[in-house]
Chain A
C-alpha cells in the first residue's frame, strides 16, 4: 500500500518472490535446453528458443491461474498471491519472446509483411486439423500484453478497479486461446501423448480448483436469513465473531463483513477497493481492517483508508440484541461514519 506511484514498491518479500521466480525460470530453461541438446543434438538455436520459452510460459500461466483458487481454499497460499503480477509479467515476457521470434522465423524474409502473413498464410478457419493456430496465440499474447502493461496500481486506479478487474478476467479467454493454440498447433505434429496428457491435466486441475473455490463461495452466498426486523436481518450470535476478525454475510446480492474490534461490531462492504479482495477475510491491525490480498487498510467505523490514502468502502448499521447480531443491508455512502454496536 503506497500513497504515491513507484515502478515497483520493493520490500523484502517482493525481492524474495522475484528471486524465486528467476531461479525457477532459470532451472526450467537450463533443464529443457540441456536435456534437449543431450538427447536431440540436432536441435537448432531457433527451435530451442521458441520451445523453451513457450513451454515455460504455459507452465507459468497454469501456476498463475491456480494461485487464485488455492488462496480461496487455503489462506496459507496468500504469499503467492501478493506479488502475482510479477509472475504474470514474467510469463508475458517469455510468451513475447516466443511469439516475436516465431513471427520472425515463420513469416519474415518472405514476399508478405510478417503481420499480414500471420493472418493470410493459412486461412483454413473451417478445418480443425488445418486451423491457423498461430492467430490464436497472437490474440492470447495481445491479452497478456494489455494485462502486463496495466498491471501497475497506476492503471488500477485510473481505469477504476471494476474496469481493471474486468480486463484482467480476460486471462481466462487467453488461457483457452493458449490451450487451443497448443492443441491445434505443435501437438498436431508431435507423436507422444504426454503433451496432450499434460495439457489436459493442467486444464482439469484448474477447473477442479476453481469449482472447489466456487463451491466454498456458494455456501456463503446460499446462507438464508429468515429473521427480519425493521430492515435489520439476524445473521449470527455475537460469540461467532472472533476479536479483530470478521464474518462475511451475503444479503441482497452484496457481501458484507462484520468486524469485531475493541469490544464493538462494525460492518463494511466486503470488497477491497484495490483488487476486490475479501476484506472480511482480513484482520484488524493497528486499528485498521487489513485486506488479506495486498494489505490495503480501512478504518472499521467509517470504511475510509487512513490518511494520506483515499480509498473508501460502504458502511452498514449493525446492532446487538440479546447476544444476537442484527445487520441492516442498506449501505451508507462510502466512507460514512457509523457508531457500531457495543458488545455488553
Chain B
C-alpha cells in the first residue's frame, strides 16, 4: 500500500510542476531579484575583495614577504592545529552523540519533547556564552574546585582546564552534540525498524544487524553530521579565543588577530582565502559522498518506529543517555546562571553603571538595547528575503543549485565575512562601515539560510491539489498564496523568525570585526568583560551571558511549540 500512495503523490507533484511552470514563470523570477542582489552585495562583493587584496597587494617586495609568511611554518602549524582539533572534536561528538541519537530515535519517554527543545539551545548559544559557561565550570573558581579545596584543605585550585585542549574539545562537543542528535536522530527515527528486525529473524545478532544493516543505511546522515561538525569546529572562533587563550589559534582566530591586533590585512586576507578553500573542498567532498551513499529508503512515520522503553536494560540505557546529555549540556549552563548570582544582584546592577575609565563608552546594559534592535532588524529583513527566496525556489527542478547558493553563508566563517566588510564598506559605493545597518545586513546573511530552510519544506509539502482547488474555485495567484499557503506556512515563518532573532542576538565573529566600540552588542560586551581582569568584570560577563541565554532558551521553547511536523531545524 505505501508504494502505491507514494507513486500517486509523485505523479501529482510532477504534473503540477508542469502546470505551474508556464504561467507565473516571469513573476517567480522577479521574486529572486532582491535576494540575489542582497547576496551579491553583502556576500560575494566582500568575499571578492578578500581574493583581490590577498592576490594583488601592491606592496612590491612585501608580496614576497607575505607569501613567505602565508606559507610559512606558522601557518602550517595553525592549519594543523585547526584540522587536528576539528577531527578530535568531531570524533568525540559522534562517539557521545550516537547513543543519544539512537535513544531519541527509537524510544518514546516522558519529557522527551522538552528535552528535545532544550538540546537545541546550545547550538544557537553564542560562542562567548558557551566559553563563559565553561570557564565557570572548569576554571579555578568553579564550584568543583571550591568543593575540592575545602575538602582537602588546598591552598590552590587543583583543576584548571582553562587554556587547555581538553576545554576546547569539551566546548565543541557541547556545541555540536545537538547537531548529531538532530541530523542522525531524525534520519534514524524514520528508518524502517523492519529492516533491522528482518536481519534479526534471518539470524543476525543485535550487533551484527546494526553493523550489517543499520550502520550502512545511516552513513549519509553520519557523514552529513560529521562534516557539519567538522566545518563548525574548523572555523571555531569564540571558543578558541576565550577558552584556548593565547596558546591556541585556529585559522579563524589567526585571521582575527592579524586583522584586528596586528593590522595586517593582506596576511588576514590570505589566511581567509586558505580557509575558504578548505571549507569549499570539504563541502565538495561531502556532496559527492552524499550522492554515492544515499539509498532510496521508505521512511516510516515516528509512531511506527518509536516505543516506550520496557525492559530494565532499555530503561537504564535511556536514562544513562538522557543523564549524559543533561550533564553535558545542562551543567555548564546551570553553573553559569547560578554563578551570575554569586554576589547577589551586584553583577546585574553593575551592568547599569558607567564608571570612569570603563572599557565601554556607555553603560553595559546599552548593549542589550543594541542587540535587540539589531535582532529585530535582522528578523524583519531575513523574513522578507527568506519568503521571497523560498517562494521562488520551492517548486523548481533546478532550485537546488540556487538553494545551495543561499546556504553558502552558513559555511563561510563569520570573521572572514567581517574582514570582507572591513575591506569594502569603507568607501563608496557601499560606505556602510561602522553603521548599524551593516551589522543588520551581516546578521541577515547568517540568518537567511535558517528562514529558507524552515519555510521551503513546508511550501513543498503543501499538496498542489490544495492550490489548484483554490484556483478552480476562483482565487487569483496572490489570493491563493494568502488563503492557502500563508495559513499553512505561518508556523514555519514564526520558527524562522525566532531563529533569525537568536542568531542575530548571538552572532559574535562578524560583529566583532565591524561593530564600533560605542555600539557593542551583548556578545561583544561579554567578550570585553572576559578579557579584563577582576571579579566584577567576570561577574558581569556571567550576568550578561545569563541574560542572553534566557532570551535564547525562551525563543527555543517557543520554537518547539510552533514547530511544524516534519521540520528538523
Check if A and B associate.
Answer: no
Chain A positions near chain B (C-beta within 8 angstroms): none
